[in-house]
Amino acid sequence: MPSSKPDTVLEVKDLKVHFPVMAGTVVRRQVGSVKAVDGVSFDVRRGETLGLVGESGCGKSTTGLAVLKMIDITAGQVVFEGEDISGHDRSRMRPIRRRMQMVYQDPFGSLNPRMKVSEIVGEPLEVHGLAADRAAYDARVANLLDMVGLLPDMADRYPHEFSGGQRQRIGIARALALEPSLIICDEPVSALDVSIQAQVVNLFQELQERLGLTYIFIAHDLAVVRHISHRIAVMYLGRIVEIAPRGELYAKPLHPYTQALLAAIPIPDPEVEASRPQQIITGEVPSAMRPPPGCRFHTRCPQAMESCKTADPPLRDLGSGRAVACHLYEG
Amino acid sequence: MSLLSVKGLSTEFRTERGVVKAVDDVSFDLAAGETLAIVGESGSGKSVTAMSLLRLIPNPPGRITAGEVVFDGRDLLRLSDEEIRAIRGDRIAMIFQEPMSSLNPSLTVGLQIAEPINLHRKTPWAQAMDKAAELLARVRLPDAKSRVKSYPHQFSGGMRQRAMIAMALACQPQLIIADEPTTALDVTVQAQILALLKEVTRAANSALILITHDLGVVARYADRVCVMYGGRIVEAGPAREIYARPRHPYTIGLMASVPRLDQEAGTRLVPIEGQPPNLANLPPGCAFAQRCRRAADRCHSERPPLVTAAPDHLSACHFHAQLQA
């Protein structure tokens, strides 16, 4: 049955997540659906970081939740370590979840304020029956805290006693508790101050090198994503519009949306900024309930052609790890 | 002559944990038509500085304890409540981070833009509403004429921020203070809004104070920069000068800790170790000393004053002369 290459941790094929939109107070009926993720395919290799970038509503976080099966999949396949988990129910997901963990954006909302750090970090060990006795449990918690750069005596404190960056370290320690092979990080540094972001980004990289971890790194900040990812997928309105190794994506972005995103991000250097062409695309992301026909980006695309209004460009493989969904690169 | 001259501004908050000096002895000048960025992380005092200029600090628990804010020849801190109200929204306008919470959800957008025109200029409502439609067109809101009758919830985040800019422009202010105006917006919309803000302030020759944590935004839009840390200005000067030759270890550390799109990826970032200081319990010396690689004994005991480190370039570091990046 396992068909995937041994170095592929995750394969996502034509994933769709549609949320029904209901209306009516007496008779509830479905009046439409939000196509949060609408046909997304990618794979993640062992030991690499795949960055998922895009603006709000592009479906990057929903993709992360769907891979973990924390929301229902409408269509498509999720193959994790050779096993198709698309149809798995809760009980069959349980052993899978040991190997797939999540780190959340909000270091304040994602930790239970009534639990001590030792309980937060150690809870997964208990749930999965991985600590033989109290001593083994304590030793493992101390070891996990040490791995993320926290002191062992912090184990008896509560989350409110920690700063944002330290809380994010606690969240990472918890994610590491079960020695997962894949960690999905959803905007893990965007709530942190600039000087603290770098500390946490470095921690992710150090842990990857030491433990051979695989990450899906979801964020809206392209500079951070480029820094940490080996490959990057750019999403727009529920689709991947471009996927490429990080060097190529930034050196030569192909999709007009990728180009627009890169141009929108200011570089922290006034000399560079002064000489940079300022191409700012107009408009905002349309509603995912009624995505535009044809290419979803055509309403904002500076290079849109007549065919873009009607024909939906598929994500085409250009070789050497690059793929783009744009009519400009056909034929 | 400067349009705005702030001297020794200090603002305190009384909290359960004691008195917090959120802004401590802040001074800067701003010329007409100039864009000044106040940069800092959360708790650095950048927003409280902005709010203090217009006396928008809730009292209690907050209180402006010292300083002067001389705007167009008058000290705003000494005006009566009525006099300062006449200045707010007229000579000085403010734009906040969250447009949804600064717009009234039960009034149409047009009415809210027309209100300051009617209030400050005594323009009749009908004409003020026409002016509102004109302003919405100037901030390039699509279908501006019909959008006058829309309510804030019918707008997207970017449209609301355009409406806020239209409102700020209503009385042709000499100064606009924008507190993290695009932090809540998507990247492409953020670029649109900042470019618009820069364009309209330039066209009206208004000065702009941009409060932000984003070093990229500062580099793209600011003429001058004040870097704040622990409630104080630690470095100030022209943007190009500050980025090319930073003279404070905090500024140098910040620049090394942000990834840049135009630099080789794959190198390690150099973070600033440790945590920002607790404002209720600041150390006696330099607030940054605990996190500073170059800190000497003197830094922990003696607070460095903000002094001229180079022409038109201020630094609050005992060792500014040795810092040459």
User: Three-class SS string for A5-22?
Assistant: CCCEEEEEEEEEEEEEEE
Contact between A125 and A98 (Cβ < 8 Å): no
Report pLDDT for B324.
67
Cα angle: B205, vertex B209, B212; to 5 degrees: 140
DSSP 8-state class, residue B223? S
Compute the mean pLDDT over every residue in chain A, rounded to the nearest whole number. 91
Asked if residue B201 belongs to a domain, the reply is yes
* pLDDT tier, A6 (very low <50, low <70, confident <90, very high otherwise): low
Compute the mean pLDDT over every residue in chain B, rounded to the nearest whole number. 92
Over residues B256-279, the mean pLDDT reads: 86
Facing A266 at nearest CB: one of B188, B216, B271: B216
pTM for this one? 0.90
Report pLDDT for B78.
95
Task: Name residue, tokens 């008195």.
Answer: B19
- Nearest residue to B213 (alpha-carbon basis) of B200, B225, B197: B225
Other CB atoms within 10 Å distance of the CB of residue B240: 18
Cβ contacts of residue A182 below 8 Å, gap of 6+? Answer: A9, A10, A44, A80, A99, A100, A101, A213, A214, A215, A216
Whether chain B has a CB inside 8 Å of the CB on A286: the answer is: no
Asked if the Cβ–Cβ distance from A265 to B187 is below 8 Å, we say: yes
Asked if the Cβ–Cβ distance from B216 to A205 is below 8 Å, we say: no
* pLDDT tier, B277 (very low <50, low <70, confident <90, very high otherwise): confident
pLDDT at A5 over 60: no
In tens, the pLDDT along A132-156 reads 889 999 999 999 999 999 988 889 9
- Nearest residue to B40 (alpha-carbon basis) of B293, B253, B320: B253
Count residue pairs from A and B with Cβ separation < 8 A.
Answer: 133
Nearest chain B Cα distance for residue A317, angstroms: 24
| Amino acid identity for residue A89 in this structure | D
Over residues B113-122, the mean pLDDT reads: 92
Asked if the Cβ–Cβ distance from A268 to B218 is below 8 Å, we say: yes
Asked if residue B36 belongs to a domain, the reply is yes
Report pLDDT for A1.
44
DSSP 8-state class, residue A232? E
What is the spatial distance between Cα A68 and Cα A66, in angstroms, rounded to a whole number?
5
The token pair at A18 is 């549609």
DSSP 8-state class, residue B44? S
Contact between B313 and B237 (Cβ < 8 Å): yes
Asked if residue B102 belongs to a domain, the reply is no
Whether chain B has a CB inside 8 Å of the CB on A206: the answer is: no
**Number of domains composing chain B:** 1
Cβ contacts of residue A104 below 8 Å, gap of 6+? Answer: A110, A171, A186, A187, A188
**Chain B partners of A282 at a C-beta cutoff of 8 Å?**
192
pLDDT at A2 over 50: no
* Burial profile B255-286: b = 16 or more Cβ within 10 angstroms, e = fewer: bebbbbbeeebeeebebbeebbbebeebbebb
Residues composing chain A: 331
pLDDT at A56 over 60: yes
Phi, psi at B123, each rounded to 5° = -75, 135
Report pLDDT for A227.
93
Asked if residue B49 belongs to a domain, the reply is yes
Report pLDDT for B288.
96
Bridge pairing between strands B92-95 and B175-179: parallel
Report pLDDT for A307.
94
What is the spatial distance between Cα A185 and Cα B127, in angstroms, rounded to a whole number?
53
Can you spell out the DSSP letters for B136-182? HHHTT-TTHHHHTT--GGGS-HHHHHHHHHHHHHTT--SEEEEESTT
Whether chain B has a CB inside 8 Å of the CB on A115: the answer is: no
Asked if the Cβ–Cβ distance from B253 to A195 is below 8 Å, we say: yes
Task: Name residue, tokens 């020849």.
Answer: B73
Asked if the Cβ–Cβ distance from B158 to A284 is below 8 Å, we say: yes
What is the spatial distance between Cα A216 and Cα A35, in angstroms, rounded to a whole number?
21
Domain carrying residue B67: 4-91+173-259+269-322
A320, burial (CB in 10 Å: exposed 0-12, middle 13-18, buried 19+): exposed
Asked if the Cβ–Cβ distance from A223 to B258 is below 8 Å, we say: yes
Asked if residue B136 belongs to a domain, the reply is no
**What's the CATH code of the domain at B217?**
3.40.50.300
Whether chain B has a CB inside 8 Å of the CB on A108: the answer is: no
The interface pTM score, or ipTM, of the predicted complex is: 0.86
Asked if residue B202 belongs to a domain, the reply is yes
Asked if the Cβ–Cβ distance from A194 to B41 is below 8 Å, we say: yes
B213: nearest CA in chain A? A194
**Chain A partners of B217 at a C-beta cutoff of 8 Å?**
266
**Chain B partners of A263 at a C-beta cutoff of 8 Å?**
191
Asked if residue B37 belongs to a domain, the reply is yes
| Helix/strand/coil percentages in chain A, nearest 5 | 35, 25, 40
Over residues B185-199, the mean pLDDT reads: 89
What percent of chain A clears pLDDT 90, i.e. is strictly above it? Answer: 67
Cβ contacts of residue B74 below 8 Å, gap of 6+? Answer: none
Asked if the Cβ–Cβ distance from B258 to A193 is below 8 Å, we say: no
pLDDT at A185 over 50: yes
In tens, the pLDDT along A294-313 reads 999 999 999 999 999 999 99
In tens, the pLDDT along B55-67 reads 999 988 999 999 9
Asked if residue B28 belongs to a domain, the reply is yes
What is the spatial distance between Cα B269 and Cα B136, in angstroms, rounded to a whole number?
43
In tens, the pLDDT along B6-36 reads 999 999 999 888 899 999 999 999 999 999 9
